[in-house]
Chains A and B, each alone.
Chain A
């Protein structure tokens, strides 16, 4: 029998590790990298553009105008009495944050194969930086919403009021971010092997929007008898709560928000497990 010497190693690199093996210490050490990635995303977004950061506003403004026209005026879908523009803008802003987190995260491995193939850092930094840089964007768009709310306060077109649920705002943002992140992690891990999912995501997210209460209120879905399907979507609870907080319309119940929270946590947990398992060897298959 060989005598085992008590040697202390700082790092052991081996093939298999436990399922939920997130190195929080490592993540914390690389927090500056996260900040650098966020800065990079933000700066490179508007470099060599004339309008610069204004582009953050243009997209939601035009989408809101088009949605108001198509769904509000042409289709005549009710907005539960809230001003049309505000109704759509709240929906669009929150949905955009979720879908940006999801779509950008879902291509993390593919987009960064080059960096990941050359140097080690906790891979989770990359999706986290996406969530944070989209948060910056979301913040800018929130300013737009606040400006519009001030405008409609002085020139009323419908009724709206901020409710105490606004205190839940950070929780809502966190739910959107984590749900998008979790789904994105699952998808990006699977796309390293099965590219098909990439195509699914691009139009799937668009279609999913119609199964969420972005362009219609939940009450309208209930009228038509589809409310159960719509409520299965964990984003519905979040967007309804978001709208309730800012405009006082929509259905905000602890049950639906709780449901969203539980689904989010499950998906996030699953996402991290799959992501961790994939990150070790994806360089070989991408």
Chain B
């Protein structure tokens, strides 16, 4: 049995939303009277309401986290993923003792160091060296410890030349480098990291990821990592926890957790494709649905750059069409309505005769070399030619796919966002 290092039991956290201010004395007194004197339940905490931003709640208390239970083993690198407002940051805040839970408890073995932000407490007037000491002390290091590691920290940060200059003269990149360098040299058993990798240039990001994987894999320490960067979660973590509306909806291997998240998040609630009337063609065949599938044939709404993507068109057969002459076109448009790429079945010499038996057409893209962004799909089914008089079914914006930054080149570096395609290739000199 592996060694548990964190155990979270029935953890909940309630927040008061809306105005806090006028009238709080009277409410506080009421609360005090009811809970402490009468010994009843807090009237301002209504039980059972979940945290869903889009639905208006009844009370002005929301449960940012509700009855969370999980355990983390020593040496695990755990990715915590979820939509904005799912409770990730609240969980980290509770774990790092910035705020305390409303109910439930967290049991921990060893020291926790949390990096909810890099450079907490940096004072602009102090020099880099002085700030290393200050920041290190804030993060719980002893002075001796910092002195012992000072050279290593300065070396890792790469700002050696400016170490005796006040940090207010630093560029933001240097600032972050120095700050992360301090944090990376903490000697705690558990390290909590929140999205800090969003800053700094690619080289430094890689260095940070490398350091973090070194901490978890090399030194056997436990890392909790919150990020929207699915590629980073996949490469860094061995397990994952998916939060949704303040609840743990999935816990398991990090790859599975990422897939679960991608397939369950941001379900579109628009009019279904089947009922749309803004389409052209004789509708002998009708595209009634579009599904995006990943390499495990799971339905997804998001895909990581460079990974496999299948587009499955569900077809309703309404009258006879000569399938040997069927033309299918799928085009991807960015949010500026620019066509980014298209697939034409006639060029690809595709064969759709199988549609006789099945009721879907599938486009398989083994490596989806597209940069991160949102794309709309336009779908065209035609009879023989692409002329308007042979249209069977043409739907603009039939579906939407979100592409997340990935590691197309397999270099450990996350690709830049930007809605355009990437071709395989390499530089040489």
Given A13-B108, A14-B101, A118-B98, is A43 in contact with B125 using a C-beta cutoff of 8 Å?
Answer: yes
Asked whether any CB of chain A lies closer than 8 Å to the CB of B116, the reply is yes
Across the interface, B123 reaches (CB within 8 A) one of A9, A40, A117, namely A40
CA distance A10 to B98 in the complex (A): 18
The segment from B134-142, B214-222, B408-416 found at the interface with A is B134-142
B209: Cβ under 8 A from any A Cβ: no
Q: Are A280 and B137 in contact (CB under 8 A)?
A: no
Residue B24, interface by CB 8 Å: yes
Report yes or no: B121 in contact with A281, Cβ–Cβ below 8 A: no
Give the segment of A30-38, A90-98, A157-165, A232-240 that binds chain B.
Answer: A30-38
The residue in chain A whose Cβ has the minimal distance to the Cβ of B144 is A32
Q: In the complex, which residues of chain A have a beta carbon less than 8 angstroms from the beta carbon of B95?
A: 13
Q: Roughly how many angstroms separate A14 CA and B103 CA in the complex, as a whole number?
A: 7
* Contact yes or no, A119 B120, CB < 8 A: yes
- Please determine whether B25 and A194 come into contact, CB atoms closer than 8 angstroms: yes
Interface residues on A, range: 35 or more
CB distance from B102 to the nearest CB of A (A): 6
A36 to B112 CA separation, bound complex (whole angstroms): 21
Contact A193 B24 (CB under 8 A): yes
B15 to chain A, nearest CB (A): 6
A11 at the interface (CB under 8 A from B): yes
Tell me the complex Cα distance, A32–B133, Å. Answer: 9
- The total of Cβ contacts below 8 Å across the A-B interface reads 115
| Contact-residue size bin, chain B (C-beta under 8 Å from the other chain) | 35 or more
Q: Mark B91-130, 1 if CB is under 8 A from A, else 0.
A: 0011111111111111111111010110011010110001
Question: Residue of B at shortest CB range from A33?
Answer: B137
Residue among A12, A40, A48, A116 making CB contact with B98, cutoff 8 Å = A116
A119 touching B106 by the CB < 8 A rule?
no
Contact of A121 among B7, B101, B140 (CB under 8 A): B140
Q: How far is the CA of A193 from the CA of B29 in the complex (A)?
A: 13
Cβ contacts A25-61/B at 8 Å (1 or 0 each): 0000110110111011001100110000000000000
Assuming the A-B contacts A14-B105, A283-B93, are A36 and B134 also in contact, with contact meaning beta carbons closer than 8 angstroms in the complex?
yes
Question: Does A119 lie within 8 Å of B107, measured CB to CB?
Answer: no
Q: In the complex, A43→B131 CA distance in Å?
A: 12
A6 at interface by CB-CB < 8 Å: no
State the CA gap A285–B27 with chains docked (Å): 14
Q: Is there an interface contact between B107 and A118, defined as CB atoms closer than 8 Å?
A: no
Quick check: B137 and A15 within 8 Å, CB to CB?
no
Closest Cβ neighbor of B21 among chain A residues:
A195
24 sampled A-B residue pairs with Cβ under 8 A: A7-B107, A8-B109, A11-B107, A12-B105, A12-B107, A13-B94, A15-B104, A29-B142, A30-B137, A30-B140, A32-B141, A37-B134, A40-B126, A40-B134, A44-B125, A48-B125, A115-B120, A117-B98, A118-B98, A119-B98, A120-B98, A120-B114, A121-B140, A283-B98
